[in-house]
Amino acid sequence: MLLHAIDLAQPTTPPATVNTQGLANFLRSFFAPLFLVIVSVVALFFLFTREITRFMQFILLAIAIGVIFYVPNIIEVTARAIAGALGISGG
């Protein structure tokens, strides 16, 4: 039993890379319903108070945020496109 405790006390080498492949999918599946509920409530508030201009601004902003959340690799693709347009090579 003492040898087993000593074996457990020995430091182990950490993994070379951290696998975060499922993290993005988990976060999308966790925040997607929350995002949709918040957007729906705020949109209904603007409609009931008859603030059509603010409603349209909010919907456009919600669509933009939704695209960033739900489209995979959109940030990476956009960053590469901007870097290519500026003439910066992507190493």
Is it the case that residue 91 has pLDDT exceeding 60? no
Terminal CA-to-CA distance of the chain, rounded, Å?
Answer: 53
pLDDT one-digit tens code per residue, 24-33: 677 778 888 8
pLDDT one-digit tens code per residue, 37-85: 898 899 899 888 988 898 899 999 989 888 877 787 777 788 788 888 8
d(CA 74, CA 45): 30
Reported as a pLDDT band with limits 50, 70 and 90, residue 5 is low
**Token digits of residue 49:** 């108070």
